[in-house]
Structure 1
């Protein structure tokens, strides 16, 4: 028998129950011996699954809170990728990376629990590690690599589990269980489209499996495609203006952060006010957003494109009595696309090689001003930037499992994983070449043959096609991540106690993780518009763990059950040393109607390959200049006002009228090989109520608290700037990270990864699940049943210590980081389903609470239009119908509507999409249809 963290009991249930519409999320009573019924794919008979959340083989559930998502629930949704579904579950935070992130998403789908970031949620497949995928800033398990059609069910452990599963499980674990015993052939197809006839998606999958006397073999193929949604296809995102039309957000000195078009320029040295612009004819005038803006909304995507192919094979075979051979091969190839408008070029685009940025010298014959001009421009002639990510990920595994002495189960195996991604960015600027065309640098004869000549940057479309081709190039970066993973364990009962068996699990793991990041040669040679070097690194980790389960009391007065679970893990890392984590949990049920659970322990997260070794480079992060008269910190902080007055006056500028030109500030970010691990403490208290007098009702309430020390973070540019300018006389150490102001304007800030302070968070989870057979109300048995489900998450606190030592309360706030993030206090998902043997109908209501821009204690609230987002409610409906064909083939049809009332996402002036790139619906009303045939 194969040892797994989830015991699969291969009991077939009636084919009609396979169509039962499960609740959107089933909150499993973690301490109960409760099962979740997975109905498999369209037309597939179900398997009954006991959820354990433990390394110990057992027939009861763990003492920790677990949420289960069944394959039926995935099917009864518009899901093409797994991330689409998980983002709707309340316990998942809004700091992940998803299809809404056009700038910086880089084609990956990362999810996270408790708002603690993607690197603190451990994603497993069948209880084992999966190779990560990398970008230039983070690496985690990319959910785009996991075929939805191969998933049997998903366990979400909503507490820290480092002692059971190792590093990265600080916030919890997402354990994806694949199908193991599928028998037959199944074909599924789906298509979805918005009511505006765009954002089309489709998916096709085929699965063939066969059970034989000694094992099973299964093959799976899946192809899916998701079209991009341009920003200008929706009224809420097509214009950079406030919803009431009172203000345009296209100017660099207003809220939206957009930059002026190629006719608008900044003259710095010896010229008029920084708020005036030069327009090519020697005349200066005030910037006019209505005629000078370049509306980047005309070029960007609200939702990105994805094309994915997946080929998979699984099998197990009894090669000797009580010895099974287990194999798995997973392969995914995908392509994703994002698009942005023409790149920005200006005086703040500085590199080590060109610290003065982009300059048009006085010697340029098209420069009528007689002085060097520091230009601010986007060249439409070069073209839009298109970001393409192509990647292949595969995992190959082989192992043995069996039983010894008729009581101890064992397994041992090896898995190799590799993720290889290539990122191509079209129409980037070669900084050397653009300075040659500006005449700041000379053109050689060879350069002239390639298109280098004197260019006119004063005005729109003034560069020749040859010049545009010369200064632009396609940047190609490569990220490779590798994993070698050996594992082994033995589990079983040690002795029989009066209340049940004393069970244990003893095991060990060995991992080798490696990563390599190779930016384009133009960048590494210093000719790009930012600096970055190739990096590579690796580490090894050896781990051993022990887990036990002790039943103390059972079926006694006021002690229906009392049990204690414990776990400890020792980890030895090659790059920083060792760590020991532990976990203890207690479950107490005075009666069968109520159960209490307590869980506490420690956790840790080792720095990832990207944390340690990603190359430092410049990114354009959205910030508000503390000295801006309209949106800066100087409005509410006396120190900031005094510092800005002194700095601006010394640059010959008027503090009373100073406005920020460009809200995208070049920020140095990247890896730090000196990082140390994070450590954590977690506490969970919960109760499960299953009253006998109300059959099929379960209610859960859980309190969680997580404290993280030595927090690994990339401090955001806004925090660094505000901390610096809020200090007396710019005395804060954060000021050392802020670059010199170019003519009064901000230029750069350094924000590389660092161990910084702590993060503490706590909250409440509520769950309710109730199935009502209508026959209990006196109706006929054929009347079917109603199923009710509710899952809520309330964020009580989320405090973090910033690099400057300040403590910030993020709960209920929008935090301006690289991408503004909302720490919503309350999220809820509710559903009601009517289920018949052959058909079902479900209505789901999703609620996301509001949030407001963070303001420091003692400062007035941000009352600006767009400074907060209100709550939003989405309504989704879905129906399914199954019929028999030729007496033996099951055909299932599913149709649904997401966002039935076509709610737009809340407006927020983030300088990108007009909303937050979290779990909001960007597509609008969305129709989908699915059909499946089981042979």
Structure 2
């Protein structure tokens, strides 16, 4: 028997010494007052294995998020809940405005969303996104039907197939609802914005081991603008030279007023000479001051604080993007007999999301659209190659997605002797459109800025030299366009599984599972015709279309080796053979062992050989033109036209390629063409996990887990950087990659560099997951606590470099994302009769960021220069919630009132971060948030 004082010490140890798992709320069906919060690990799940039975002896580390733990968080999206796990990092979400698409994804171990497998009831879910995608959009999962979520923190390709590299997320839907449930959620930030409404209706029937569940929901998330938060109202530039914590406001040199960079020094007429005279010695860079006329451009800061002329684009962006979702779910199981039970699932989700960016900037030198001396709005009598203008008259750039996800599963469970079998067919499809507004037609822009004599017909000359407000609707109508892109991802699965006990031995049954499956995936992304042709102020993007099929056979077994005297020892093994119609056949496997000791101690270890097959977009990606900052190594002059001495190796290799001596190319950017490749092989990975579970007999309400992991991914799919391709061909003893460089046969100028996907690069990561939970009675009520933490030992990326590879160490550095040494999530709950209260604490440790986001000089001896660096502070966010349960003859009502980010903690300041001078994938941009959830059961 444990007294109250001992319980308090155990609770403190849970919160501040050891770390956690996630909670399950259990309730006695006959006593509505018996609600008890219990935190468990993997007693109720077999995720990571298809062998039937409890996972008490499982060798896989699994975390469970129960329904009540999910609903009490005050988050309307299941994706937001999953992103709070310490095992997850650096995945996109609805805070992603620039390059976002409205999706929320999960990246276990920070290895990428495409390396995390998402299942629903143990079956693969269809990918989401704009088309030809490989990762699931968690927003497509209706949260109201979720019973629990099981997160496997290990590779499981032998059991589930491709993509289960970082881990597996298995969403289990409800099957025990017998009645009607209404739920309403309302939230709003402390600033009065970012309001969210979530409404849901569910009805279920459970009779004689048969059940059916219907649910429908509506979600409306309102936006938050960057100017509404102090940390994001202005772009910032850190003073790396002084490195004393100071910074200046920053922004874009494309301003609404206009900006001329004189690159030719042409004389022009008297009006231009007057501008030169007024500018004095600083001639060459001019800003159109509304009160002074043309004067030297001031790069010292932006117009927000008056320190400079740079355009502050931050206020014109969302920092939290809006979306609406409509979801429906219908599923059930029918007991035909003791041996036959058909089942089905139908899911439909429609998402309408939006991103808004600042008005389009025009850099005429990048678009190849100079302003002619003969244009009616050019009063200076000379051509201008480099004019920069922000088209505020056109309004924001707007991107809208209208995507629908449909999935149906039809299956049959059966009992064959002592074996359980299930066979199912699943069809899923995500499709829709993306509409973009605010970009320009390049050819029309060139005519509108060119000589008047060439601007005929419907052409309207464009005025960008006389300040903001001079661009008329007629001018915009001629150069603007609305682009509509269409895409889809489709998935079909036919699978049969069998599990049972093959034989009975002295120490227990030999349990096995086996199955066969076929999967077909196809997808396409078709951009609008103007974007596909490259006749746009954005980059050219060709269509992506393709697909693949795979057939697989898997098997697994659990062998009890010894059981007696309080000690148990078992072995696990699994294997999968597969054949893809794209790259051929392969094999993956997994082995594991577990030992149970007296006094509640269990040791376990696994080794997994996992794989990830190339996705549709990686194989069939349409050609995209990009312009990296690289120059021709064979050029005898640099970008400024100054002589450049080639190395002896460069001279030999360039001559062998037919480049004449004295060849000149002053371009600072070269065209590179990205694209997919059907020659890709699968990524390979090896994962080791070893850990312990401790449930002491003297404290049965205390649970401790400790798991070590090490992952290594080889043959990662990506593309060689353009600079590496050029160096490999012209600067090395054994030239390679020369076939990826295309030159004009006459001029010898580089036409483009081919950057198709290939298998290149590696990632290694290692760390320690610590989990602890405690729940027990005290004089105050039922007190429960949990702590889930991650101690990161290593996260290294090996990327191609000239003549070899180079390592980027991410642990404790921001070069590739947020990978702190320590992060944790903790919770404390107290339940007294029908009321309960809870406290949550999310902590992300600090790290280092460096100038130019390149910290290699801090840990590599071969890098001569040590970069300037600064410490990014740790970040703590606290949440509070209170719940009251009311039961009457009219049913039960649960009221939850809470506040996330109680102290309005801003995100950590990261000057190398994107919008908001931070990292949207890790930190809370919303700030203090109040919420109310009301659930009523009949």
Same fold (TM > 0.5): yes
* Matched-pair contact (CA < 8 Å) for 2:158–2:574: yes
Aligned partner of 1:5 in structure 2 is none
User: 1:531: Cα distance to partner?
Assistant: 1.2
Cα 1:466–1:645, aligned 2, differ >3 Å: closer, same or farther? same
Contact preservation (8 Å) 2:119, 2:168: yes
Q: Classify 1:268/1:116 alpha carbon distance in 2 versus 1 (closer, same or farther; 3 Å).
A: same
2:363 aligns with one of 346, 353, 359: 346
Does residue 761 of structure 1 match 2:765?
Answer: yes
> What is residue 501 of structure 1 aligned with on the other side?
509
Q: Does 1:915 align with 2:918?
A: yes
In the TM superposition, residue 792 of structure 1 has moved relative to its aligned partner by 0.7
CA distance in 2, matches of 1:191, 1:108: 21
Partner Cα separation in structure 2 for residue 304 and residue 122 of structure 1 = 26
Give yes or no for the alignment of 1:388 onto 2:404.
Answer: no
User: CA shift at 1:555, angstroms?
Assistant: 2.7
Aligned equivalent of 1:647, options 621, 638, 644: 638
Q: Deviations over 1:32-79 (max 9, x none)?
A: xx3xxxxxxxxxxxxxx4445311111343211001111111111122
Find out whether 1:543 has 2:552 as its counterpart.
yes
Which residue of the other structure, out of 578, 581, 585, is the alignment partner of 2:585? 578
Shift of the 908–515 alpha-carbon distance from structure 1 to 2, 3 Å rule, reads same
Check whether the contact 2:237–2:250 (CA below 8 A) recurs between aligned residues. no
Instruction: Provide the C-alpha distance between the structure 2 equivalents of 1:915 and 1:721, rounded to a whole number of angstroms.
Output: 32
**1:446-475: per-residue Cα shift (whole Å, max 9, x none)?**
424xxx235444532322210012211112
Confirm or deny: 8 A CA contact 1:797 1:809 kept in the other structure: no
1:304-323 pair list within 5 angstroms: 304-323=321-340
Report 1:431-580 matches (<5 A). Answer: 431-439=442-450, 446-448=457-459, 452-529=460-537, 530-556=539-565, 560-580=567-587
Partner of 2:688: 683
Q: Tell me the equivalent position of 1:365.
A: 376
Partner of 2:122: 127
CA shift, 1:364, in A, is 1.8
SS of structure 2 residue aligned to 1:139: coil
Partner of 1:588: 595
TM-aligned CA distance change 1:174 to 1:259, over 3 Å: farther
Change (3 A) 1:293 1:60: closer
Structure 1 contact 136–614 (Cα < 8 Å) conserved: no
Q: Deviations over 1:461-490 (max 9, x none)?
A: 322210012211112111211111101111
Partner of 2:656: none
Write the deviation string for residues 170-213 of structure 1: whole angstroms up to 9, x where unpaired: 11100111112321101111111111111111101111000123
Superposed CA deviations along residues 690-728 of structure 1, whole A, max 9, x for unmatched, are 1111221111111101111101135678x9699999989
User: Shift of residue 842 of structure 1?
Assistant: 1.1
Secondary structure of the 1:791 match is strand
Change (3 A) 1:648 1:431: closer
Partner of 2:611: 604
Aligned to 2:411: 399
Q: Answer yes or no: is the 8 Å Cα contact 2:836–2:883 preserved in 1.
A: yes
Q: Secondary structure at the match of 1:360?
A: coil
| Offset of residue 545 of structure 1 | 0.4
Q: Distance in 2 between matches of 1:276 and 1:898?
A: 52
**Is the aligned partner of 1:931 residue 2:934?**
yes
1:409 aligns with 2:420: yes
CA distance in 1, matches of 2:558, 2:436: 53
Alignment check: 8 A CA contact 2:249 2:302 kept: no
Could you give the per-residue CA deviations for residues 215-269 of structure 1, whole angstroms, max 9, x where no partner exists? 11110011111111100000110012369995434245xxxxx744441132323
What SS does structure 2 have at the residue aligned with 1:318?
coil
Q: How does 1:762-777 map to 2 (within 5 A)?
A: 762-774=766-778
Cα offsets for 1:761-818 (capped at 9, x unmatched): 11110011111321xxxx4xxx4221111111111111121122333233335555xx
For 2:105 and 2:311, how far apart are their aligned partners in 1?
A: 32
CA distance in 2, matches of 1:65, 1:569: 21
Q: Distance in 2 between matches of 1:665 and 1:442?
A: 32
Of the candidates 826, 829, 832, which is equivalent to residue 833 of structure 1? 829
Secondary structure in 2 matching 1:812: coil
Q: 1:737 to 1:298 in 2, by over 3 A?
A: farther
Q: CA deviation at 1:595?
A: 1.0
* Cα distance change of structure 1 residues 921 and 214 upon mapping to structure 2, 3 Å threshold: closer
Distance of 1:577 and 1:267 partners within structure 2: 57
Q: Deviations over 1:411-466 (max 9, x none)?
A: 11101000003111111111111111112697575424xxx235444532322210
SS of the aligned residue for 2:79 comes to helix
Contact preservation (8 Å) 1:626, 1:725: no
- The SS at the match of 1:447 is coil
Alignment of 1:733-772 (within 5 A): 752-772=756-776
Query: Do 2:258 and 2:390's aligned partners in 1 also have CA atoms closer than 8 Å?
Result: no
What CA distance in whole angstroms lies between the structure 1 residues aligned with 2:94 and 2:767?
27
Give the alignment of 1:120-159 within 5 angstroms. 120-135=115-130, 138-159=133-154
Deviation per residue, 1:491-513 (Å, 9 max, x gap): 11111112221111110110100
Which residue number in structure 2 is paired with residue 92 of structure 1? 88
C-alpha spacing 1:821/1:670, structure 2 compared with 1 (3 Å)? farther
The aligned residue for residue 647 of structure 2 is: none
Question: Which of structures 1 and 2 has the bigger CA Rg?
Answer: 2
C-alpha distance in 1 between matches for 2:636 and 2:285: 23
Q: Aligned ranges for residues 71-86 of structure 1 at < 5 Å?
A: 71-86=67-82
Would you say 1:20 and 2:22 are equivalent positions? no
**Secondary structure class of the residue paired with 1:375:** strand
Question: What's 1:824 paired with?
Answer: 820
Contact 1:720–1:734 (Cα < 8 Å) also in 2: no
Match among 234, 258, 266 for residue 263 of structure 1: 258
TM (norm. structure 1) is: 0.84
Partner SS state of residue 324, structure 2: strand
* RMSD, matched Cα: 3.6
Structure 2 match to 1:634 = none
Q: CA deviation at 1:620?
A: 9.2
- SS where residue 476 of structure 1 aligns? strand
Aligned residue for 2:260, secondary structure, equals coil
Cα distance in 1 for partners of 2:670, 2:394 equals 22
Equivalent of 2:877 in 874, 877, 902: 874
Please state how far the C-alpha of 1:646 moved relative to its aligned partner. Answer: 7.1
Alignment partner for residue 850 of structure 1, among 840, 846, 849?
846
Deviation at 1:277, TM superposition (A): 2.0
Number of positions where the alignment pairs a residue of Structure 1 with one of Structure 2? 845
Residue 361 of structure 1 and its aligned partner are, at CA, apart by 2.2
Which residue in the other structure is 2:807 paired with? 808
C-alpha spacing 1:316/1:240, structure 2 compared with 1 (3 Å): same
Pairwise mapping of residues 186-335 of structure 1 onto structure 2 (< 5 A)? 186-213=181-208, 215-241=210-236, 246-252=246-252, 259-270=254-265, 276-279=284-287, 285-288=296-299, 289-291=301-303, 292-335=309-352
The answer (yes or no) to whether the contact 2:765–2:793 under 8 Å persists in 1 is yes
Inter-CA distance 602–726: structure 2 relative to 1 (3 Å threshold): same
Structure 2-normalised TM-score? 0.84
Q: Distance in 1 between matches of 2:926 and 2:726?
A: 35
Q: Note closer, same or farther for the CA distance 1:748–1:921 as it changes in structure 2 (3 Å cut).
A: farther
Structure 2 unaligned residues grouped into runs of 5+: 1-23, 239-243, 267-275, 304-308, 645-667, 745-749
Residues 441, 186 of structure 1: alpha-carbon distance in 2 compared, 3 angstrom cutoff = farther
Contact 1:136/1:615 (8 A) holds in 2: no
